Structure 1
Amino acid sequence: MKPKFMVVFMKEFRETLRDRRSLVLLALFTLMYPLMLGYMLNKQIERATKPEREGMELAVIGAAQAPNLMAQFKQKNVTVQQVDAMDEEAIGELLKSRKVVAVLRIDDKFAENYQEMRPAQVELWFDSAIDNGPRVRDVEAVLNAYSMDIASARLLAHGVSPVTMAPVKVQRYDTGGTAGRSGVIGAMIGFLFFPAFGCCLSAAVDSTAGERERRSMEVLMAQPVRTWELIGGKWLAAGILSVIAITLELALAHGILSWLPLEEVGTSWRVTSADLALICLASLPLSLLAAAVHIAMAMNAKSFKEAQTTASVVMLVPMIPGVVVSMMELKTAAWMYAVPMLSNQTLLGEVAKGQDIGAMPYLLTFFSSLIPALAGVAFASWRLRSERYVLAV
């Protein structure tokens, strides 16, 4: 003989699978966040690698006056387009068309000043509103290198070593490896846990406040079943939806991030399939907590509409700790694993860095959501014992 709460669970779960609204929400939350994450990262990779794949288009006014400079641009994979003289308005229109990265205007007296060893003026025009910052800096680097080459040649002609122009030599060392930069992706993907509170919303509210308004709750209460068995079955039915959604979400995001060439932007996805399985297991109580919170809120509401409105507002609360920690740029601490939702985000972020965090963070993440979930179910069971609630008076 099946336990009574399992009978309630099977009944509620079958009804949920027949509810098109719940299935649409499940599919929407499961696909939306991983696809958005993959799309944004793919665009970032395309922007980072576009100069290498396509080179850069640079419009030059008066290119004939500086043939050596034009040759140096070509060596750096910068395509030079020689254009006629243009006024400021025409230059602005050319930049807005995005056909070129920048416009280089060489002064009419460039050759004369160059020969007389006076500063030869060039103007670099660009549009800062367009996302061409890295490519404009590449053009500036070519100009600076060209200027330094000329200065070094002139110093040698006068018997002065070019080393005198660089009294301080700076060597740069980047200690941030791909593991550290992977934590940024871990922080982004941490928002994948948020749908745990959205996927079970419809099922949790409809099976409690909805059934009370339809007067079907009275029929269930008339059966030989205890309140905790009744609430427990409804809780599991709603929670399973979130478990399915979060598991599929993380699996889909894992597949997308493993497929993307993240090395092109100096990072990598270091989460293995075994790590993902442990994270899904540790995150299971978060889905049950979401269902328990919605059911407890719905049980305390006076109507179905009030329950739905309250639950919609309450589902935003778990995001607050993660946003606050991100804004304050706090370092990872042990107390973060004791805060529901934040613990899941922190766990995924640390695993994404490739660090060996041990078993304790997994256990803290698991129980930080399980304990309040059981408390929410206990409150809902106690609330269901009230005749005033069942009769909606």
Structure 2
Amino acid sequence: MRDNSSMNLYLYQLKSLILKEYKEAFRDKRALLVALMMALLAPVAIVLMSKIMIEKLVDEPPVYVNFNGAEYAPKLIKYFADNNLLNLVDAPVDEKLIWQQRNIVMDIPQDYETDMAQGKPIKLYLRADFTDKAVGPPVRRINNAVRSYSLSIGYKRLLLRGVDVRLLNPLTLVEQDTAKPDATFILISMMLGIYLMLAAFMSGLSVAIDSSAGERERNVLEMLLCQPVSTLQIVLAKLIGASTISIIGVVLVLVLTSLSVGLVDLTKIGATFTLDIMTSLTLLLLLLPICFFASACQLFVAFQTKSFKEAQSTVSILIGIPAFIPFVVSMMDDRPQWLNWLPVAGQSMIIENIFKGVDVNWLAFLATSVVTIAITVTLVVVLAKKLRSEKVVMALS
């Protein structure tokens, strides 16, 4: 009976502390909105960048070039026009100034037709500021167009001389992509995976800092420690409060992304992308340990700082973890098996496989979740012990 009453008292105290943390977290609506800003802006960023990328890959907007000597090569100019490479004089008024500043010039020699008729090599001079990033894509399109036109003329010359052009390509490699249709749209997959990780780390960041370094500066922490509650209860309440906001951020990213992706016309690149209920639940279950892990790391680091301002600058460094680790993992060709066990790295690889349409490796899913939870529990226990020290509570050197 005494054990049951002690447990009931323990749970009642923990419940009261959690409610207190929730009141603190949801009291300032403006701070809460800032905390969830990442989750709200992520779907917008995905839609905008996807549309820009699709436009560059498929639509091929007009490129305006200042052709010097266009009258000497009418067929070449027509071929350029068919590939949406147009003369600068034909540019619309609202775009002409932009292309004049880019100043892409092609010089066509006066003896172009004579040399072409005699089969002599012809040099076309393309002048532009190649260090300008805005000039790069148009120049690549011009290079490809010139190379394609040159090859077509070369093939015709060989045919006239009775040479089979197939002799130039004795081997042909046929690539057959075995990826599922949902995996073809890699841009959304990579961005959404990173945004989900960032949402888990960023959404609860301000709550974690305020409930640790902030409460210490306001002397709230000292008052809590004077109450008949354990330091473990205090840490658990703060962890649950910050993690709840992180989970809300992840859910918002999943829900808003599933709605906003419908605004992108993926059929232009022959791709499909959907976030069904089962996939969303799998992702949420995978990221739940990360939400607690992120909040535990932030609380642990924040309590080691001397002031609220120092905590803000120090804890913010942790945001680089969900961006840096998935990037490094994606660049690795041969990934060690132990990466499947690590927090963030293991989750990022599973998310990547989910969006590729690969079946979930539930053993790796369980392994990385268990390791993440184990590290989180360790951080909580160590922090609970540290809160018994005056150095941490009073921020003493």
Superimposed CA distance per residue, residues 111-170 of structure 1 (whole angstroms, 9 cap, x where no aligned partner): 33444x241635252644412145314421452244235414642xxxxx1316834344
TM-score (norm 2): 0.79
Could you tell me how far apart the structure 2 residues matched to 1:48 and 1:150 are? 29
Which consecutive residues of structure 1, in runs of 5 or more, have no partner in the other structure? 84-92, 156-160
Deviation at 1:222, TM superposition (A): 3.0
The equivalent residue for 2:237 is 233
1:173 counterpart = 2:179: no
Q: How big is the shift at 1:41?
A: 2.0
Tell me the residue number matched to 1:339.
342
AA at the equivalent of 2:278 = A
Relative to structure 1, the CA distance from residue 368 to residue 268 in structure 2 (aligned partners, 3 Å threshold; closer, same or farther) is: farther
Indicate how the Cα distance of structure 1 residues 109 and 153 shifts in structure 2: closer, same or farther if over 3 A, else same: farther
* Residues 217-256 of structure 1: pairs in structure 2 closer than 5 A: 217-256=221-260
CA spacing shift, 1:380–1:163, aligned 2, 3 Å: same
User: Where does residue 3 of structure 2 map in the other structure?
Assistant: none
Is residue 24 of structure 1 aligned with residue 33 of structure 2?
yes
Q: Which moved more, 1:21-30 or 1:181-190?
A: 181-190
Answer yes or no: is the 8 Å Cα contact 1:208–1:295 preserved in 2: yes
Distance 1:25 1:122, change over 3 A: same
Q: Which residues in structure 2 correspond to 1:192-207 (within 5 Å)?
A: 192=195, 193-207=197-211
In the superposition, relative to structure 1, how do residues 345 and 257 fare at CA in structure 2: closer, same or farther (>3 Å)? farther
* 2:306 is the alignment partner of 1:297: no
CA RMSD of aligned residues (A): 3.4
Work out whether 1:39 is the aligned partner of 2:48.
yes
Tell me the number of residue pairs that the alignment of Structure 1 and Structure 2 aligns: 372
Q: Are the structure 2 counterparts of residues 175 and 331 from structure 1 closer, same or farther at C-alpha, using a change threshold of 3 Å?
A: farther
Q: CA 1:332/1:41 → structure 2, altered by over 3 Å: closer, same or farther?
A: farther
Alignment gaps of 5+ in structure 2: 1-7, 90-96
Query: In the TM superposition, what is the alpha-carbon distance from 1:217 to its structure 2 partner?
Result: 2.4
Among 8, 11, 34, which residue is 2:20 paired with?
A: 11
Contact 1:270/1:353 (<8 A) preserved: no
Shift of 1:103: 5.3
Matches within 5 A, 1:1-393: 3-20=12-29, 22-51=31-60, 60-69=67-76, 76-78=82-84, 81=87, 96-97=100-101, 105-115=107-117, 117-119=118-120, 121=122, 123=124, 125=126, 127=128, 128=130, 129=132, 130=135, 131-148=137-154, 150-152=156-158, 154-155=160-161, 161-163=162-164, 166-176=167-177, 179=180, 181-183=184-186, 185-192=188-195, 193-265=197-269, 267-269=271-273, 271-317=275-321, 319-327=323-331, 329-332=332-335, 334-387=337-390, 389-390=392-393
Structure 2 SS opposite 1:325: helix
SS state of the match for residue 166, structure 1? helix
2:92 matched to which residue of 1?
A: none
Distance 1:57 1:273, change over 3 A: farther
Distance across 2 between alignment mates of 1:196 and 1:82? 49
Structure 1 residue 273, shift from structure 2 partner: 3.3
CA contact (8 A) 1:270 1:352 kept: no
SS of 1:139 mapped into structure 2: helix
Cα deviations by residue, 1:85-121 (Å, 9 ceiling, x for unpaired): xxxxxxxx9964469xx65544322333444x24163
SS in 1 for 2:124: strand
Q: Helix, strand or coil for the counterpart of 2:343? A: coil
- The answer to whether the 8 A contact 1:296-1:376 is kept is yes
Q: Hey, which bits of structure 1, 4+ residues long, moved more than 6 A? A: none
CA contact (8 A) 1:113 1:120 kept: yes
- TM-score normalized by structure 1? 0.80
For residues 109 and 388 of structure 2, the distance between their equivalents in structure 1, rounded to whole angstroms, comes to: 88
Residue 121 of structure 1 aligns to a residue in which SS?
A: coil
Q: Is the 8 A contact 2:47 2:263 kept in 1?
A: no
Task: From the superposition, tell whether residues 235 and 124 of structure 1 become closer, same or farther in structure 2 (CA, over 3 Å).
Answer: same
Following the alignment from structure 2 to structure 1, what is the Cα–Cα distance between the partners of residues 86 and 178? 36
Asked whether the equivalents of residues 56 and 77 of structure 1 are also in contact (C-alpha less than 8 Å), the reply is no
Q: Secondary structure at the match of 1:195?
A: helix
Give the Cα separation in 1 of the matches to 2:62 and 2:99: 17
